[in-house]
Structure 1
């Protein structure tokens, strides 16, 4: 499958609903974000290992989470779990030069590789990569329009909810009855929080602390 067939499939299956999401995913070269030996599988709709027990999410999940959060041009977005940097690159394409993407990775080696890759591909001015504990977010850069978490938390981290702007949205997988469920957390203009259950998922766990 090539990238065009993949995007057509995701549109057909309803994961991609907006033109800007399709265009962003067509523009970002996913093969640059996977290990050399896995490049032939870059446009298959499945997660792939990127080392250190981490994965690059399946393209349908990347699209689904971005659509669920409603990321748009000009947004200031916080991503928890940089991984390979692929998701941050797609987000950068959507938010455009008026927006900004802040992304946190707890494993220093992955963060450094992702930063290097993003800079090489021209996203360095739009994406800032940090090494840190994602569950704490980046309060010094808050508030954010959107927060996307790519690791499963035991419960919704209130520190992240606090870093959402009124009217902001967070999409996060959370442990649930022995499995995981993807939640959409909407912070109303009045600060009231609404939580919507979206679908069952499977992500690596959201861990505290950092690793070299």
Structure 2
């Protein structure tokens, strides 16, 4: 894990690279390969057994030991958020297409990024950038009191709303059709912000919407990407930590009709 400056900000904003390393070690390539093979044994669609097998594999292979995350992944049925043609692989550790050139993230990536956000143990309000099909928002709703999510693609916004409507027992999730780069300042501050798309840098607008002590988790980079956490330590200071390599779709501005 490497600490370095992620963004260039105005004169009143300082991003420190010398903070204490609070990182959680990411899975090695060998562990990722073993996890993939273990989950490939799962061919079921909506079986609780298959979902439990997936969650147990995530714990066994060291993706996360946070019981809050494991319980949330157990509660939310991933296959419900997927196209019928890909549901047979719902509990395999794969990113699968959901339309509009987008994918549903691997269960291991969802677990990993939420676990990093939970390092501050602040559970009031979370913002997700990139709702996609709604799966991660559903998982977050099992952990945080208030979940806000922004989706820029109109078709995916409608898909997520439809998918989440199937879960009448989940807490209310606030989904907005809009530009995720701008965040949701009227609902800020947030205890955590999680980005499901990679930019060359983290938008200053999002950093300014973090609560003091809040953590932003994001993939950063273009061809080569890495997971980064940025914690707000004061009104004008943030500390950053780099983690393992990853692969996400690019972060884009505006609304796609």
Given the two structures, how large is their TM-score scaled by the length of structure 2? 0.78
Name 1:185's counterpart in structure 2. 230
Task: Please name the residue that 1:164 is paired with.
Answer: 210
Of 186, 189, 212 in structure 2, the residue corresponding to residue 143 of structure 1 is 189
- C-alpha distance in 2, partners of 1:108/1:33? 16
Q: 1:173 to 1:128 in 2, by over 3 A?
A: same
Quick one: structure 1 residues 73 and 185, their matched pair in 2 at CA, closer, same or farther if it must change by over 3 Å?
closer
Find out whether 1:42 has 2:61 as its counterpart: no
Q: How many residues align?
A: 208
Q: What is the Cα deviation at residue 189 of structure 1?
A: 4.0
Cα deviation, residue 74, structure 1? 3.8
8 Å CA contact 1:92–1:123 kept in 2: the answer is no
Corresponding residue for residue 172 of structure 2: 126
Give the Cα separation in 1 of the matches to 2:204 and 2:97. 30
Mapped contact 1:10–1:60 kept (Cα < 8 A)? yes
Structure 1 residue runs of 5 or longer lacking an equivalent are none
The corresponding residue for 1:51 is: 99
Rate the CA distance shift 1:120–1:108 in 2: closer, same or farther, 3 A: same
- Contact 1:166/1:191 (CA < 8 Å) preserved in 2? no
Could you tell me how far 1:156 is from its partner in structure 2? Answer: 1.2
4+ runs deviating over 6 angstroms? none
1:75 maps to 2:159:
no
* Kept in 2: contact 1:152–1:205 (CA 8 A): yes
Q: 1:55-66 counterparts in 2 under 5 A?
A: 55-66=103-114
- Rg larger for: 2
Distance in 1 separating the partners of 2:191 and 2:172 = 15
Question: Matches of 2:155 and 2:178 in 1, distance apart?
Answer: 12
Single out whichever of 99-108 and 13-22 deviates more from structure 2.
13-22
Residue in structure 2 matched with residue 89 of structure 1 by the alignment: 138
* Structure with higher RCO (Cα < 8 A, 6+ apart): 2
Compute the displacement of 1:124 (Å). 6.8
Give yes or no for the alignment of 1:194 onto 2:255. Answer: no
The alpha-carbon deviation at position 120 of structure 1 amounts to 2.0
RMSD: 1.5
Structure 1 CA distance for aligned equivalents of residues 182 and 196 of structure 2:
14
